[in-house]
Amino acid sequence: MVITIPNVLSDNELKQYRQHLNSADWESGLSSAGEQSVQVKQNQQLHPESKLAQQLGDHILQAISESAKFVSAALPLKISPPMFNRYQSSGHYGWHVDNAIRIIPGTPIRLRTDLSVTVFLSNPDDYDGGELCVKDTYGEHQIKLLAGDMVIYPSTSLHQVLPVTKGQRLASFFWVESMVRDHEQREILFDLDQTIQTLGADHGLDNPQVITLSALYHRLIRLHVNT
């Protein structure tokens, strides 16, 4: 399931991000590519241990921690430090699947990549091309969101970034190890939680049916959480 979440970052935050990133020291994205990805990857990245990447990454982690929809969709156990990339001058990233295990830089901590996340930092009219294409059981999705919006999708999905033929595409990306490993179970829990939130807004959180559904949701959480 592909889930989009709008307005993770404000216009003012985005302006500051772009000012910092436009004057940043970028390196080839091949430095973090796996054996197969190196054949299809052409972009630039901030070094993940640079001061700027860490500062902006910490800010994104704070922002997503305040997003109820992100927490509901991901049920995060571990989140990798956000990284930052830039596509321009026909830069692209061909079809690939993210590595199942990632090591958090500078630590011995390993993270299972259940979910992949992209936060768009450039508006769609800032560049041509650059769509994130994700294949799942429902077909192929082409995703090009407003700056500040976020997309979440299973890391098992085959995906690519189409060539940027004009302008530049700035984004942050990271991975989540979820408390619920199974994608279908996590999707059911997300749909149930969103239904509860809608009913609660319409009828009040003290509505007996809302309370019953909430109790069922938390029973399911206890059954499916893997920690």
Where in the chain are the domains?
3-178, 183-224
82-115: pLDDT as tens digits: 999 999 999 999 999 999 999 998 889 999 999 9
Mean pLDDT, residues 154-170 taken together: 97
Tens of pLDDT, residue by residue over 37-70, are 667 999 999 999 999 999 999 999 999 999 999 9
Give the pLDDT confidence score for residue 34 in this predicted structure: 60
Q: Would you state the structure tokens that stand for residue 92, as one six-digit string?
A: 């692209």
Burial of 112 (0-12, 13-18, 19+ CB in 10 A): middle
Mean pLDDT of 1-7: 96
* Residue 130 pLDDT: 98
Give me the mean pLDDT over the 20-39 stretch. 81
pTM for the complete prediction?
Answer: 0.94
Q: Six-digit token pair at 79? A: 């989140």
Share the mean pLDDT of the chain.
94
Residue 42, helix vs strand vs coil: strand
Q: Is CATH 3.30.390.10 the right assignment for the domain spanning 3-178?
A: no
Question: 90 by DSSP, 3-state: which?
Answer: coil
Q: What is the mean pLDDT of residues 116-131?
A: 98
